[in-house]
Copies of this chain bind each other. A is one copy, B any other.
Amino acid sequence: MTAFAGADERPLPELLLVAAERALDDADREPGGVDSVHVGNMAAEAFNGRSGLANALVGGLGMTGVAARRIENTSASGASAFEDAVAAVASGRHERALAVGGEKMSAADTATATEIISRITHDREYEQGITLPSFGGLAAAAYLRETDADRRDLARVAVKNHGNAVSNEYAQFGKRIDVEDVLASPPVAEPLRLYDCCPTSDGAAAVVIEAGPSATGDAVTVAACESATGTHAVADRADPLDIESVRTAGERAYDAAGFGADVIDLACIHDAFTILEWLEMEELGLAPTGRAWELTRDGRTDLDGDLPVNPGGGLKARGHPLGATGISQVIELVWQLRGDLPDERAVDGASRGLAVNVAGFGNNAVCTLLEADA
């Protein structure tokens, strides 16, 4: 992957190319050996004034004669590209696939970016002026009201994720923060403040997926990658704290993998807002309903806890270049499961990891389970 940044001066196609070349180098494979390319990107037409990213990438890699397309699933575009790439290989249709996600949000003016991102919600809710941060604020308020969590616990999610990013050279933010910093940051959507929210980012990430023995001997196995849509309008959900898409995608992934939440050693959770880390952990069975906050308060989701969450910094601190995020989560799991990382940011002895990438406020979710080779 590229190091995520608030602004990367390189054009989006170059970011995708750099990430793709790094993935191929890491896998010790040549571009010519890839027969399917899946590019995850949300909004290059609006942010960067261009379409056809998959074909440009394939051209940049010097490849011809491959199956190539770009996949868009809003903020889960990266994981959707990964899901389709995995399915293409698992089915035997293709031997080796390249999943590449990227976004260059800094190129868009604020009005364009805000409009495109706000339109992800249901038309009726968009017309009523509800944005993704508003939903985040409403959910956070409801959660704090309904559980014994307090506002400081919510801030601890951001503090942990910023702390994890400090030693991640690919993270956007390298600054440690504390609970007081979060509480003193500007309000965004009460009770959420700026430091409860992920930033906008530029970046790209890529992985090679193939069947059979790897060239390097240190591949990680995709145990499952499954997705599901949820109820589109939040107002139509039985409980606004339910994220049905995450629950369904998780159940499908556990079924496909043949193991469950109880054996997950670490997780990359879509923490676009701090509250989402808790809600998704609960939907995925990583914490009892209404009690994920206890894991945060008790330090169990810290890097040295029994269930490290967002060891690379999460969307909050690694950054959230929309189409790249889902693939950067997979990369974080791969690095952790391989034991590639320096001690100060490694999860010890991890053998199974989970990643969840979410579109909009739960319109759609993709859950990936990876397993270290024995």
Question: Does A317 interact with chain B (Cβ within 8 Å)?
Answer: no
Q: What's the Cα separation between A329 and B43 when bound, in Å? A: 27
Interface majority SS on A: helix, strand, loop or mixed? mixed
Q: How far is the CA of A92 from the CA of B226 in the complex (A)?
A: 14
| Shortest 4 CB-CB contacts between residues of A and residues of B | A59-B232, A91-B91, A45-B46, A45-B45
Q: Which residues of A contact B (CB under 8 A)?
A: 13, 42-47, 49-56, 58-60, 63-74, 77, 80, 83-84, 87-88, 90-93, 115-117, 119-120, 122-123, 226-233, 244-245, 248, 359-360, 363-364
Which of B45, B67, B74 lies in contact with A228, CB distance below 8 A?
B67
Contact B74 A51 (CB under 8 A): yes
Q: A69-B72, A73-B69, A87-B93 are in contact. Are A52 and B228 (CB under 8 A)?
A: no
Chain B residues in 8 Å Cβ range of A74: 51-52, 55
| Contact, CB under 8 Å: B72 / A70 | yes
Closest residue of chain B to A236 (Cβ to Cβ) is: B59
Residue of B nearest to A14 (CB): B123
Chain B residues positioned under 8 Å from A93 (CB to CB)? 87, 90-91
| Contact (Cβ within 8 A) A119 B64 | no
CB-CB < 8 A to A233: which residues of B?
59
Q: Known: A115-B49, A232-B58. Is A64-B359 also a contact (CB below 8 A)?
A: no
B364 A119 Cβ-Cβ under 8 A: no
Residues of B within 8 A of A56 (CB): 122-123, 232
Closest to A121 in B: B52
User: Nearest chain B CB to A370's CB is how many angstroms away?
Assistant: 19
A55 to B43, CA, bound (A): 15
A83 to B91, CA, bound (A): 14
